[in-house]
Amino acid sequence: MQLSDNDLEYHGPTSVFRLAPQRSSSVSDSKASASPEPAPATVPVSTYFDWSRYLPPEVPLTRAEHDRLLEILFKFFSSWGLRIVPELFLRDMHRALTAPPSAPLLKSAHYSPMLHNSVLALSTAYSDDPLIKDIRYRKMYARKAKSYIEADCQRPTIPLITALGVLAAFHSAAGEQSLGYLYFGMAGRMSQALGLNIDCSPWVKSGLITHEDMLDRNWAYWATFSQDVLWSLYVGRECCVLPPRKDRQIPLPWVGSEIDHAPWYWAPCKMPPQPSHVVRTFEKTCELMLIARRIMDFV
């Protein structure tokens, strides 16, 4: 494992890239964008920011519809498998889009322009507006997301992996199973590039990354691992994300935290708010995925 400008990157014992000079760093390098262990406050809907900065201007999407579609996706899609942590996505989106356009994008484990467009390519399927949910407009978001792939893959980050997974879901939902399999395969490869299946606690102890960075990496690993098992079951093919080592467990973050107890509420269903237990549910899902993985390896 080596520390790059963006994150830890993994190169195995046969790789010449292991001989590259190590970047010296301190914990302060990443604190500005690190995720807290408990959930941060969500961004108020009324807060003004340049919300469409990285989105295709051809799509006639309003701010109100944008926020509504994100809420629907967070409540009814991404909560399964904890693919996106809404509080952290919204926080980092707000930070990125309130900065001047000329400023470099802040380091984030939960937001990127590619991820923003990927999310909208998928969430616009939930729109009541026939124009917005038209596949032609949805593909504009997908194309915009894909325009970032080469640059982002050159400097891999956690939002890149999340975005590729969301693009995979977009294509799968559109009946394009092979394309979905391709994009999730890219997500799996990038997770290997970041070494997400490796316990990074020694780097925390040495001060090279923060504890919060480790939580983000652990979350990204389990989100990718569980999706990989589900994709493999779906298409009947082998997994590409390695399971955790028995001697180096990767704990799931945020279990029992404020994120776990954040109320789930959807006004149209006329039910009172109730704790979501979204992380605890994800924890049990991951336990089931480990069992499924062992069964798949056996058969």
The SS3 call for residue 254 is coil
pLDDT 10s digits, 108-117: 999 999 999 9
Lowest pLDDT segment from 137-141, 226-230, 232-236, 251-255: 251-255
Nearest to 257 by CA among 6, 86, 40, 13: 40
Is residue 24 scored above 90 in pLDDT? Answer: no
8 A C-beta contact, residue 224 and residue 161:
yes
pLDDT 10s digits, 5-21: 656 665 555 544 555 56
Which is it for the CA torsion 74, 63, 115, 86, positive or negative? negative
